[in-house]
Structure 1
């Protein structure tokens, strides 16, 4: 006859009674780790690179900026003589693609926040990271890094191509190179951040995108139809501070002789974006998810 084996030791139960307590307490076998900003950044990076909307919007952005920028430069080079291009900044021909491409960045910025409210994913996000300000900050940092990098690469490619194609144009100075590449990339990334903040405030993708398109195009369109002399000052202000004109300022090609100049559009956009984020944060803390 075989000798009976002693019973195997069993793991301690998860439910245990603390000494002096009549109720059992539960000890989770999963280690509890306090979440930090790095965890939120990793989560938002996983989200933004895994959804299809990111690839589509950024792909269309690159296609518009690079495609239209090269097409305009090629047409100008083929139909303009050396004398007509003399004195012009060759980098300025890239603004046509950037104006259309900005709509793609605004769309992605809105979707980064508003789409989670549409799908209900925001509940899971807030359970995983109860600090709402940290979630908003992580979304802003990840989006800004992606938008700025893609814009800088696209704008830089168009800038070098424009200089190579337009032999009759003057050579841009160092300051013009800096404004036409780094400056414009920071401006568009901030414009996308403004859209992200508006998406958090509105919590509706279509509504926020519509508002942002109106912010970009409406001032210029309204100014074009102001024929009364009494509205001259209003018309002038709308021209000067419209997004298309501010984009042109980075290439020293403003639509008006007054208004923002140099790096002014960047500081204006930074101030407006900061105010929008302050409002988004306050509403995020006070609202239910």
Structure 2
């Protein structure tokens, strides 16, 4: 398994798309945080609001950056099918589940680490610009500082699973973006239907955790995080089973 993880790490470091994706995540995360921090400083910022504004400052990461990380994970799988490198990969590592598990460790770990650092920097910079005072110890801030990296990691793993199931870059990216950014939000507001199924929509559960919970869900914020994590693991397990059963 260590050899498989090292192989995936080398693949990741030797291609350009991860660097572009991470660059976009950093630009979105810091750019929107700086913009909102400046706006808060001129309109509604006031002493003591550092904790309550954290969720707003991280919109660039937990609303848009996570989608880019999911795309990065998708490309980590689908480009191997596109260029035919998946066959030698499976020849070198005949136990196919190890390949996807190694990819999950690499892409999930990278997403967690990058977002963890980015969140701290974005929050501190935004708080400084807003003039509300720099604080990283409030309950809301603490939940976002560790919860957003976890959410990003799970989004990357879902992207990896979708990529392994679809095996086509454009198709997998389209499915992921529509599902994450539009489909669940539309379904959740359908008359007489949305209110009954909103608690079972995975990404909305992830965002519900970051928002601190909502009365429209059957469980609290941490229940939403648990649900999202279980859904991610089930989908990843399905992708591993399908990859192991079909031809490369």
Name the TM-score, length of structure 2 as normaliser: 0.88
* Residue 278 (structure 1) aligns with: 237
Cα RMSD (Å) of the superposition?
Answer: 2.5
Tell me how far apart the structure 1 counterparts of residues 22 and 77 of structure 2 sit (CA, whole Å): 17
Equivalent position to 1:211, from 157, 175, 190: 175
Deviation at 1:100, TM superposition (A): 1.3
Shift of 1:243: 3.0
**Alignment match, 1:27:** none
- Counterpart of 1:13? none
Q: Which residue of 2 aligns with 1:257?
A: 215
Shift in Å, 1:195: 0.8
Cross-structure match for 1:6: none
Aligned length: 245
Report if aligned partners of 1:41, 1:139 keep a CA contact under 8 Å in 2. Answer: yes
Cα contact 2:208–2:221 (8 A) shared by 1: no
Work out the CA distance in 1 between the residues paired with 2:98 and 2:203: 30
Aligned to 1:221: 186
Q: How far apart are the structure 2 equivalents of 1:113 and 1:163?
A: 38
Corresponding residue number in structure 1 for 2:57? 94
Q: Distance in 1 between matches of 2:102 and 2:200?
A: 33
* Cα distance per residue 1:119-145 (max 9 Å; x no partner): 100011111111111111111111111
More displaced 10-residue stretch of structure 1: 136-145 or 175-184: 175-184
Q: Higher RCO, 1 or 2 (CA under 8 Å, sep at least 6)?
A: 2
Question: How far apart in 2 are the matches of 1:157 and 1:248?
Answer: 23
Per-residue CA deviations over 1:207-234 (Å, capped at 9, x if unaligned) read: 111111122121213444x3x4xx1x52
Q: Quick check: which one's helix share is greater?
A: 2
Written as runs of structure 1 = structure 2, the 5 A alignment for 1:21-40 is 37-40=1-4
Whether contact under 8 Å (1:94, 1:155) holds in the other structure is no
2:206 equivalent in structure 1: 246
Query: Shift in Å at residue 262 of structure 1?
Result: 2.8
The equivalent of 2:111 in structure 1 is 147
State whether residues 66 and 152 of structure 2, in contact with CA within 8 Å, keep that contact through their aligned partners in structure 1: yes
Give ranges in structure 2 of 5+ residues lacking alignment. Answer: none
Pick one of 14, 17, 23 that aligns with 1:59. Answer: 23
CA contact (8 A) 2:162 2:172 kept: yes
Q: Deviations over 1:160-213 (max 9, x none)?
A: 223333334795645333311111111111111011011111111111111111
TM-score normalised to structure 1 length: 0.76
User: CA distance change for structure 1 residues 76 and 239 in 2, over 3 Å: closer, same or farther?
Assistant: farther
1:47 and 2:18 equivalent? no
State which structure, 1 or 2, has the greater radius of gyration over its C-alpha atoms. 1
Question: Residues of 2 paired with 1:112 and 1:159: CA distance?
Answer: 29
